[in-house]
Structure 1
Amino acid sequence: MFPGQICVRDPRLHKDDLWHTHVDYEISLHTNCMCFRKKTSSVRRRYSEFVWLRHCLDSNLLLVSDTRELPKLPPWNPFFSLKNTEQVIQRMKGLQKFLEIVLHTPLLLSDSRLHLFLQSDLTITKIEKCALGKTRYTVAEAIQHSRGSNISRSEEKISSDSDCESPLFFQSPDGDPESFGCSENTSPLMEY
């Protein structure tokens, strides 16, 4: 069993340009699990990045076991309304459920892409390169330095998949979901 708590919350609407918008979500992790570099972290990810993560983990799982199946993500909906709070909340809950199941699957906890996804502010491209050892920094360094980073922003080319680059770090003394910010009462959609 995963000794900790994962929470998907704080949806934020971003206007990419006149016609394009997207929502990203804060992923907060609080754990005593020794396989995680940081015991408490928070990053922002968008739905398409969850799709990428599921594909990576599914490929990895197929290599070692043909009997296990990853949980599904909330379905992609061509009529998904970024301004429909109920749809955003349902997606958020589905993304959290997906991560909870992933974190309770010991085989998946060895995938460095999962750790970088949850505990670094690297883009998907940089996560892939780092996991393959094609960066000047290790997975552990990328996670450790994800805030106040020694990895320069010029090297980290900010992409449209990485809109909020400054994660927040916090500590919940009792691990209670309410004090951790994972209450059933989700925050309203904020526009940025």
Structure 2
Amino acid sequence: MQQVVSVWVRDPRIQKNDFWHAYIDYEICLHTKSVCFTRKTSSVRRRYREFVWLRQKLMANSLLMVKLPGLPPKNPFFSLNNAQQIADRMTGLQRFLEQVLQNPLLLSDSCLHLFLQSQLSVAKIEACAAGRTTFSVAQAVQRCGLRRFHSEEDVQKDISMSCDSDSDSSDSRDPEQKIEDLAIKKSKSAALLDHISTCQDEMFSCSSEST
């Protein structure tokens, strides 16, 4: 019997490196009862280029035995203030993860688990998966605290703040509505989000464990 893994990509937020450089990262929420996962519920944030790295890593580790799904293409005209472009990218990133998590071979990849359930950088993910850190993959996953899931109201507010304030509010609501609709269809696992009230409010930094 197939064990369901529910994943959402949502809550886009603009992060600024400095005055001139900024990027958007996304919250990846995962809920499952699968024995493949150390944590059954988790929440991390990743940016687009980290998804690109993950796909390349999975392709290399699977020795081309798996036909990996595609990512939404990189758009040279992508705008941090374009709500529709952000919504389309989120949809594509979620579809990518959904298809990856359906493949038993890919589920055995440590890099995938660290990507989804730890806050390690891609460089530290590679080091941890290769056994070059003082902590194991399971320890890295366990020591990254669970971030509280946003309520629907908070998510809508975050999307609106991340996008151009002059954009149509319906554009900001569309991606979250699509994700909520999908969640209802997937084992009704979205109902669990309302009950996660004892989770930690902040994420612990896994990077402090490395040498």
* Alignment match, 1:20: 21
Query: Matches of 1:30 and 1:178 in 2, distance apart?
Result: 11
Aligned AA for 1:16? N
Change (3 A) 1:178 1:96: farther
Query: Matches of 1:88 and 1:123 in 2, distance apart?
Result: 23
1:110 to 99, 108, 111: 108
* Alignment match, 1:168: 147
Deviations 1:41-95 (A, max 9, x none): 00000001000000000112235x2xx3100000001110011011001000100
Uncovered stretches (5+) of structure 1, i.e. residues with no partner: 148-166, 182-192
Q: Is the 8 A contact 2:6 2:189 kept in 1?
A: no
* Correspondence 1:46 to 2:47: yes
Query: Matches of 1:75 and 1:104 in 2, distance apart?
Result: 22
Query: Matches of 1:48 and 1:74 in 2, distance apart?
Result: 11
Aligned AA for 2:59? D
> Of the two, which has the highest radius of gyration?
2
Deviations 1:1-29 (A, max 9, x none): 45120000000011211211100000000
Q: Is the 8 A contact 2:24 2:80 kept in 1?
A: yes
* Alignment match, 1:130: 128
SS in 2 for 1:82: coil
SS in 2 for 1:26: strand
**1:114 Cα deviation from its structure 2 partner:** 0.2
* Alignment match, 2:60: 59
Aligned AA for 2:119? D
CA RMSD, 1 decimal: 1.9
TM-score (norm 1): 0.76
Query: Matches of 1:40 and 1:74 in 2, distance apart?
Result: 26
Uncovered stretches (5+) of structure 2, i.e. residues with no partner: 150-182, 195-211
Q: Which runs of 4+ in 1 moved over 3 A?
A: 174-181
Change (3 A) 1:120 1:179: same
Deviations 1:80-136 (A, max 9, x none): 001101100100010000000000011100100000000011111110100000000
* Alignment match, 2:85: 87
